């Protein structure tokens, strides 16, 4: 009779929902994972990306042993080595970099491949102890983080969505990027007869389920928000008593939005002026109304104008003070798991490098302090960062020593000197903080690590010991690392036992002396994106998230690849006819950045003038240039957001 167990855990991926799951183990093997029906938010349902997560853990392509480069960088030639050899090599090369160039020549490159405290922050603890350069930068929502720091509220309990009477889904494909939110939105429909409006250039899965779809031009979100605010002012649809308590510059903001007449907004957005007027009136009159916005509208050169504009609508209307009303972008518990990185281990302040500018950092031949060593984990920068071709060129430098912690041979791992096999979420303990609700989660390991894979905490301990780092923090267990950011009211043992626990929301920063915020920080731009010098037949390229991948994760998994159907460019029939293109044919997408070859998908789900290339596909032997970020230039918003969605391209037959 089989030995059967069920182990409580959670998904670690960069998604707002942090699903609670149960791993079903038979004779020491995880046979399936199912959603935990007792979790109040995720309610027993896993998404199409991770519902077969064991296939990732047991994949025949999984990296299970340390590897050392055995040929030219990028050749794909590696040899298996022991952990002792790997750790000795890393320690020796890191010591060499420090002795010859200083510790700041070492750079971390990481993101949210795992949102777990130990997996995310243990390697940074090692680099902090060595005195390496720090890292900053956000490839997803830099404007939202900036507005939060300026005192704006950009999230409330998503379980309160059920109280809303009008819901605007602004540039967010909820059913693909956080589908558990849809349950609470649908519940508002049942309870209150709530209308759901989707604003998106594409008719997404979510848009198809909404009561109204407004297909605006990409990059015109800030203009629409400004135009709605103008109508609120003009028609006395504001709650100025409330807004005046929150913001100190209402008059300045009124002047700022005055030029945005319905006609001007309509021209900018490619919609009817009456649509702008009715949207503003409907939003103001609902009691309450809410806006759920996503990352896409922020990923342009004026992303700050979008989030400031949405926050202004929430405040001017007074909806922000009502249960189920206001603005929801990030729903963050008041937890700082970053404390697990132990920044206090640095002996002195070091420089901080912007990981979104990695293409420049790696290729700057005039840098006073060039980067000579990289430790990469939780990200695949050769695929997910802008200017991918230049990042790959930099990673091929023979004087650059790169260590990658990975599950698979990603595009980035192909360019490493040493690859260390990481454990998956089924094989290690961790604590995960979500960004779409307030339930902290614990992940208990369901099985022992496969092969010779190790957790990032164990990797930190091995390298630290070999490099003579004797501080007690360098030998803490994974549980101790994960617990470093937990407050007293959230004890680790309770979290492990219960699986999750709801925690208080994170407060917004209040920088102003009188505790009031500014609405007029970032005016809506006159034109987004700029078409100066662009050909008249240029198309606006979007690179949205796919339904079956999580950024670049799962892009190598057969089931998810088959479900996605391969990389393809979505284009309207009108644009295809103008170019004499047929559905399914091979096409070339080009701009000044590069060239990409893919298949064409003619669709009526995207507005003319816009094309879409979904998913973060890897390069492969079949399609060496499938990576969409080859076409994305090095361009940023004022707060450092890469402008992934400010890309103009030409499309022609291959």
Nearest partner of 95 among 464, 427, 341, 439, judged by Cα: 464
Do both 261 and 128 map to the same domain? no
CB 256, CB 226: distance < 8 Å = yes
Do both 121 and 208 map to the same domain? no
Q: What is the pLDDT of residue 444?
A: 97
Q: What is the pLDDT of residue 608?
A: 96
Q: What is the pLDDT of residue 207?
A: 98
DSSP character at residue 627: -
Distant-in-sequence, close-in-space partners of 287: CB < 8 Å, separation ≥ 6: 165, 322
Within a domain: 322: yes
Terminal-residue alpha carbon distance, the chain = 59
Distant-in-sequence, close-in-space partners of 296: CB < 8 Å, separation ≥ 6: 171, 172, 542, 544, 645
Do both 22 and 103 map to the same domain? no
Domain closes at, from 298, 328, 358: 328
Nearest-angstrom CA–CA distance, 106 and 123: 12
Do both 71 and 214 map to the same domain? no
Tell me, what CATH number does 110's domain have? Answer: 3.40.50.740
Within a domain: 148: no
Within a domain: 453: yes
On the question of a cis peptide bond just before residue 550, with omega within 30 degrees of 0, the verdict is: no
Q: 3-state DSSP call for residue 31?
A: strand
Within a domain: 442: no
Do both 166 and 110 map to the same domain? no
Nearest partner of 106 among 343, 403, 377, 357, judged by Cα: 403
Do both 170 and 108 map to the same domain? no
Do both 47 and 176 map to the same domain? no
Q: In Å, how far are 279, 324, 550 from 162, measured between CA atoms? A: 21, 7, 27
Q: In Å, how far are 95, 102, 353 from 98, measured between CA atoms? A: 5, 4, 17
Q: Sort 366 into a burial class: Cβ within 10 Å, 0-12 / 13-18 / 19+.
A: exposed
Q: What is the pLDDT of residue 98?
A: 98
Q: What is the pLDDT of residue 532?
A: 56
Within a domain: 569: yes
Q: What is the helix, strand, coil percentage profile of the chain, to 5?
A: 35, 20, 45
Domain closes at, from 328, 358, 385: 328
Q: How many domains does the chain have?
A: 4
Tell me, what CATH number does 191's domain have? Answer: 3.40.228.10
Q: What is the pLDDT of residue 621?
A: 46
Note the residue count of the chain. Answer: 654
Nearest-angstrom CA–CA distance, 140 and 143: 9
Domain closes at, from 276, 296, 328: 328
Within a domain: 613: yes
Nearest-angstrom CA–CA distance, 204 and 196: 14
Within a domain: 507: no
Token pair recorded at residue 70: 């055995």
Task: Please list the ranges in the chain whose pLDDT falls under 70.
Answer: 1, 509-514, 527-534, 620-626
Do both 220 and 282 map to the same domain? yes
Q: Residue 449's CB: how many other CB atoms inside 10 A?
A: 19
Do both 81 and 36 map to the same domain? no
Within a domain: 291: yes
Q: What are phi and psi of 645, to 5 degrees?
A: -100, 15
Tell me, what CATH number does 636's domain have? Answer: 2.40.40.20
Token pair recorded at residue 354: 């912007």
Expressed as residue numbers, the domain containing 28 is: 4-57
Angle, vertex CA 150, rays to CA 149 and CA 155, nearest 5: 65
Q: What is the pLDDT of residue 625?
A: 55
Strands 29-35, 166-170: pairing kind: unpaired
Do both 185 and 318 map to the same domain? yes
């Amino acid at each position: 009779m089989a030995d059967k167990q069920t182990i409580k855990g959670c998904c670690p991926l960069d998604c707002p929902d942090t699903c609670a799951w149960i791993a079903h183990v038979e004779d020491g093997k995880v046979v399936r994972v199912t959603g935990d029906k007792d979790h109040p938010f995720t309610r027993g349902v896993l998404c199409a990306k991770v519902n077969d997560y064991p296939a990732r853990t047991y994949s025949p392509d999984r990296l299970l042993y340390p590897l050392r480069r055995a040929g030219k960088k990028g050749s794909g030639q590696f040899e298996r080595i022991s952990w002792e050899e790997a750790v000795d090599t890393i320690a020796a090369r890191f010591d060499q970099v420090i002795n010859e160039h200083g510790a700041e020549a070492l750079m971390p490159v990481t993101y949210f491949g795992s949102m777990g405290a130990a997996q995310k922050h243990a390697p940074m603890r090692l680099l902090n102890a060595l005195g390496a350069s720090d890292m900053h930068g956000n490839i997803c929502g830099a404007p939202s983080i900036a507005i939060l720091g300026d005192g704006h509220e950009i999230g409330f309990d998503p379980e309160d969505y059920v109280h809303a009477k009008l819901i605007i889904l602004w540039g967010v494909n909820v059913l693909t990027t956080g589908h558990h939110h849809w349950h609470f939105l649908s519940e508002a429909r049942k309870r209150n007869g709530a209308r759901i409006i989707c604003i998106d250039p594409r008719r997404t899965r979510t848009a198809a389920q909404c009561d109204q779809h407004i297909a605006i031009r990409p990059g015109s979100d800030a203009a629409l928000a400004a135009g709605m605010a103008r109508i609120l002012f003009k028609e006395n649809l504001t709650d100025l008593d409330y807004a005046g308590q929150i913001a100190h510059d209402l008059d300045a903001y009124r002047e700022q939005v005055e030029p945005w007449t319905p006609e001007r907004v309509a021209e900018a957005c490619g919609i009817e002026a009456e649509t702008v007027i009715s949207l503003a009136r409907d939003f103001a009159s609902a009691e309450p109304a809410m806006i759920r916005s996503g990352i896409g509208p922020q990923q342009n050169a004026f992303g700050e104008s979008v989030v400031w504009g949405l926050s202004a609508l929430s405040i001017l209307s007074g909806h922000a003070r009502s249960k189920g009303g206001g603005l929801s972008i990030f729903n963050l518990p008041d937890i700082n798991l970053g404390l697990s990185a132990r920044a206090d281990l640095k002996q002195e302040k070091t420089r901080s490098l912007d990981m979104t500018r990695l293409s420049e950092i790696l290729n700057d031949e005039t840098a006073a302090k060039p980067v000579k060593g990289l430790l990469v984990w939780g990200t695949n920068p050769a695929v997910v960062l802008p200017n991918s071709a230049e990042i790959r060129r930099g990673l091929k430098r023979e004087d650059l020593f790169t260590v990658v912690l990975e599950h698979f041979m990603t595009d980035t791992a192909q360019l490493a000197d040493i690859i260390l096999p990481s454990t998956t979420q089924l094989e290690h303990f961790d604590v995960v903080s979500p960004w779409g609700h307030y339930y902290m989660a614990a992940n208990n390991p369901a099985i022992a690590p496969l092969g010779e894979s190790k957790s990032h905490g164990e990797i930190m301990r091995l390298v630290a010991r070999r490099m003579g780092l004797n501080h007690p923090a360098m030998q803490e267990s994974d549980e101790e690392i994960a617990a470093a950011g937990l407050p007293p009211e959230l004890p680790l043992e309770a979290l492990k036992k219960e699986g999750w626990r709801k925690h208080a929301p994170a407060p917004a920063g209040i920088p102003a002396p009188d505790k009031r915020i500014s609405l007029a920080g970032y005016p809506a731009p006159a034109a987004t994106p700029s078409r100066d010098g662009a050909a008249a037949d240029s198309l606006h390229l979007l690179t949205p998230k796919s339904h079956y991948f999580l950024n670049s994760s799962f892009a190598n998994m057969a089931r998810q690849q088959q479900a996605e159907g391969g990389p393809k460019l979505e284009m309207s029939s009108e644009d295809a006819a103008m170019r004499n293109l047929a559905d399914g044919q091979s096409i070339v997408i080009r701009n000044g950045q590069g060239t990409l070859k893919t298949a064409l998908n003619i669709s009526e789900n995207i507005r003319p003038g816009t094309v879409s290339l979904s998913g973060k596909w890897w390069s492969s032997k079949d399609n060496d240039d499938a990576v969409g970020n080859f076409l994305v230039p090095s361009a940023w918003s004022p707060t450092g957001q890469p402008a992934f969605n400010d890309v103009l391209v030409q499309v022609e037959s291959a």
